[in-house]
Amino acid sequence: MAIGFDYGTANCSVAHLNNGSVEQIPLVGDNCYIASTLCAPTAETVSEYLFRCLDIRPSNDIGESVLRRAVKMNREEGIEVIPSDVLFGEQALNLYLEDPKDVYYIKSPKSFLGAMGLRDMQLSFFEDLVCAMMSNVKRKAEANLERTIEQTVIGRPVNFLGRGGDASNFQAEGILLRAANRAGFKDVEFQYEPVAAGLEFESTLTENKNVLVVDIGGGTTDCSYIQMGPSWVGKDDRQQSLIAHTGQLVGGNDLDIYIAFRRFMHAFGMGTKRLSGLDIPVTQFWNPIAINDVQAQRKFYAHDNLKELRLLAKEALEPEKVNRLIALHQETLGYAVIREAEKAKIALEENAEYKAMLDLYSEHVGIEINQSDMAAAIDNPTKKIQALVKEAAQQAGTLPDVIYMTGGSARSSVLRKAVQDVLPNIPVVSGNYFGSVTAGLARWADVCFR
């Protein structure tokens, strides 16, 4: 049996074709989406969990070394790994929010795939994270369908990072492939996410059109200019219909990060000065919330950086604010801050103002933010998205008949206006913001494995 698998930055979902109709498969109760999050007692727990609880072995010698190291460290910590130790989705988030300091929590590991300059053991650990999440989704889907699933088409962005080029994309796709094989998928194909979304939109067309698909997901924005319609439906060779592609690591996570950085971090001392008159380094306010940058996270949460933060607090004109930054470090609250920024982003789609509440345990910090504040905060990622849209149209050499916007962040009125500003006279339509990629992947799986 074949499924389409959207291993997303924000959420994961799967679907299959049943008598010509796409059916999404519930993963958590009746919910067809599960947040792309994982929580465990320690990072090492994940690698041992795969082996001990799921009987999933590493894919190579480096993975074996990661597993041996994980088992050794877990024994030293007195941790006996059991299945309930590793949680996914909302369960993982809720446990993290209860006690951020004493658990290992990760959101959107897909954002790290393709990162260059990492050690082989780090890449192998990312593979373990992806494998654990894919295995969880696969087992839940199989339980729902009461069938074994061995074939899948997995969505991938045009560019995982936008820097690193082909080497970055090759590395990221390799991690996804090995993780999927280990999770139990024997046959794996990949499809660009915007092309998949386009395949779903194509099923609604009664005439051929030139369509610019703009997929603004949690981690990336991808654009594909596609010739589509009745003449193309069901064809297994679509190369001549695929006219242009652009993509970059800029999406919903970046919106949240920029909202947090430009609107929240002043409460942690950004903009304040030292007694000497010198500025506090901006990286100290960026790194804790840059959840899609593994190097930034490592630098901020390093033990040596805690000493630096305490020194900065002693030298600061407003030490009470910098002390909040210390609390953020000690309680590992970066993800919680981003969570509040995401809530603000969602709330401001329907409300003119929103009061964010940052829970630092020692105090609650309230920050007012309005729609204009948000639009100004996300100006940088907005311009990047506009550039991708413009580049795709330029590559195609002709204007599209219609723009199809999809992806969770495509709901943003700010981003929809930004896209319309680039191509002002082209109609913009949308379908299922969250499910179009999954549905298109299911359609492509039916073509690939029929």
CB count within 10 Å of CB 343 equals 15
**pLDDT confidence of residue 294:** 84
CATH 3.40.50.170 corresponds to the domain 2-193: no
Helix (H) or strand (E) holding 313: helix 303-315
Question: Where are the domains positioned within the chain?
Answer: 2-193
Q: Do β-strands 21-24 and 2-7 pair in parallel, antiparallel, or remain unpaired? A: unpaired
- Please identify every stretch of the chain with a pLDDT value under 50, giving residue numbers as ranges: none
Query: In angstroms, rounded to a whole number, what is the distance separating the alpha carbons of residues 125 and 24?
Result: 30
Count H helices and E strands in the chain, helices first: 16, 16
Q: Tally the residues of the chain.
A: 450
Asked if 267 contacts 325 with a C-beta cutoff of 8 angstroms, the reply is no
Query: In angstroms, rounded to a whole number, what is the distance separating the alpha carbons of residues 162 and 156?
Result: 13
* C-alpha triplet 83, 85, 9: angle, nearest 5°: 100
The torsion of the CA quartet 314, 340, 345, 216, rounded to 10 degrees, works out to 100
**pLDDT confidence of residue 164:** 59
Which two structure tokens, joined as six digits, stand for 294?
């593994």
pLDDT tens digit string along 385-430?
999 999 999 999 999 999 999 999 999 999 999 999 999 999 999 9
Reduce the DSSP state of residue 358 to 3 states and report it.
strand
Query: Exposed, middle or buried, 73 (CB in 10 Å: 0-12/13-18/19+)?
Result: middle
Local structure of residue 410 (DSSP, 8 states) = G
**pLDDT confidence of residue 450:** 84
pLDDT tens digit string along 317-353?
999 999 999 999 999 999 999 999 999 999 999 999 9
Listed residue (10, 122, 13, 102) closest to 435, CA to CA: 13
Which two structure tokens, joined as six digits, stand for 188?
């794996």
Asked if 223 contacts 388 with a C-beta cutoff of 8 angstroms, the reply is yes
